[in-house]
Amino acid sequence: MARFYYYEEDGTSMTAPHDSHRAVEAAQLEKIGVFYANLPQMAQVDALASQRGYSSRDCIKLSEETPDLETKLAIFFEEHLHDDEEIRYITSGEGYFDVRDLNDEWIRCHVSAGDMLILPLGIFHRFTLTDALTIGATRLFKDEPKWVAIPRTTDSNPTSTSREEYLNTISSF
Ligand code: KMT
Ligand code: NI
């Protein structure tokens, strides 16, 4: 089961919990367009995938055995957005997805095996492992994955309209 809370900048490493003990409710996640479900059975994942048209998937594994793990983690932890949803089903281990709320505060999503997390296109986010340093996840996507990470620093980049699209979507909730 995932746990959601406001991230506290306490000077510890990115893989530490950074737990402010301010819990975030499911309704708050819904408001920013983040979908979460605990799906213990792969059949539930398949059902959701077919409902939403996620016809493709692949697997990613990260651990201390991963070549250049530090470099990879540094990239995942840079605040960015994508031009499509980021759909992750955790199959082993655990990790943290940090997403920005409407006040630009970080909400930390602690996910582990059985958790499905879908981040909407255009939301600013980042990822890191926990101190356990291991995760396995299925990445689902519609057709061609749009996994280019557009960094926060190019917020006004005219080649991506995803941010605008996202803000329009959530303001109508
Ligand atoms: C991403 O896009 O941030 C990732 O794929 C991270 C690993 S998935 C658990
Ligand atoms: Ni991403």
- How close is the Cα of 83 to the center of ligand 2, in Å? 10
Model confidence at 157, in pLDDT bands (50, 70, 90)? Answer: low
Model confidence at 158, in pLDDT bands (50, 70, 90)? Answer: low
pLDDT in tens, 42-77: 999 999 999 999 999 999 999 999 999 999 999 999
Residue 73: its pLDDT value, please?
Answer: 98
- How close is the Cα of 13 to the center of ligand 1, in Å? 18
For the CA of 147, the nearest atom of ligand 1: 2
pLDDT in tens, 86-120: 999 999 999 999 999 999 999 999 999 999 999 99
Which residues, by Cβ under 5 Å, contact ligand 2, an ion? 86
For the CA of 90, the nearest atom of ligand 1: 9
- Determine the average pLDDT of the residues in 130-137: 98
In this prediction the pTM is: 0.94
- Cα 161 from Cα 63, distance rounded (Å): 34
For the CA of 149, the nearest atom of ligand 1: 2
